[in-house]
Amino acid sequence: MEQNFETCLYNVVDAAKIQKDEPMKKHTTFRIGGPADYFIMPSNEKELAEAVRVCRKFLIPIYIVGNGSNLLVGDKGFRGAIIQLYKSMGTFQVEGNQITAQAGCSLAQIANAALDAALTGFEFAAGIPGTLGGAVVMNAGAYGGEMKDVLTSVRVMTEEGEIMELPAEELGLGYRTSIIPEKRYIVLGAVISLTEGKKEEIKAQMDDLRQKRVSKQPLEYPSAGSTFKRPEGYFAGKLIQDSGLKGFTVGGAQVSEKHSGFVINKGNATAADVMELIRQVTAKVKEDTGVTMEPEVKQIGEF
């Protein structure tokens, strides 16, 4: 008898690592999102490869997430399987001036490991609230640094389940972009190369950047970080503020009064609220300045 999708999935991933109809608001920093049909948390690369193989066999759409820090999931949820690479695939090791880390490691974890080893170059990432996998995919950056400055190589899994080590220069890393999504690679981990530094100086810089974030960003509210990409030659937050939209609200979603580049969940915001707010902000800035703004936040699922 032909086995069904669930039977095959439970054969390759421990049942405790699979949730059905899992609310995605529990797994995004926006605290927004309807249920995913399946939410899978593989413990290792083998489980991941098998889960992906089964999903592909049964034509189940998949989407890979870390801690959901740059993600807006539709209110009706995601038809398919969300595969989370987070704490269960979040180990790292430091050797010399290199840190080899799995995709589920948080950037803060890696930054602290670098500090402990007196390695400099990763301070910029200490406050970015994402995981290494997501940071590699979008070449995350802040305060003048970005992932491409420190990446040596990246370990990926292809659609066919083959594992490859790719040098960073082959990943087409640009402003918030890489070739990884179009190649449909899954990032498994990366090697980060840093330089020797002085612990007290590294700590001072991390503390300084942390203080800047606390003072300038609305960290007290759920959000997905910077909502818009930086338009060439401009700053998204300034364009929005200059259009008089600081504090602009749709339902439970608001343009932060602290930093106009952030859309925050002021309380029970829906994905529809956020999308409508983004639409109106984009239209007003375009009307006022002629500049077209693009969301940086990834949008998935049914809205």
> How many of the other CB atoms lie within 10 Å of CB of 164?
13
- Kindly give the residue spans of alpha helices, DSSP state H, lying in 129-270: 132-137, 180-183, 199-216, 236-242
- CA dihedral (28, 61, 48, 113) in degrees, to 10, reads -30
- CA dist list (Å): 130 to 32, 60, 67, 71, 110: 16, 26, 6, 10, 11
Active site residues: 176, 226, 296
The answer to whether 271 touches 72, Cβ cutoff 8 Å, is yes
> How many of the other CB atoms lie within 10 Å of CB of 126?
23
Selection from 118, 173, 183, 182 nearest residue 147 by Cα: 173
Which residues make Cβ contacts (< 8 Å) with residue 23, sequence separation at least 6? 33, 34, 35, 77
> How many of the other CB atoms lie within 10 Å of CB of 233?
6
Q: How far apart are CA 72 and CA 33, in angstroms?
A: 7
The answer to whether 191 touches 152, Cβ cutoff 8 Å, is yes
Q: Which residues pair with 195 in a beta bridge?
A: 120
* Residue 227 identity: T
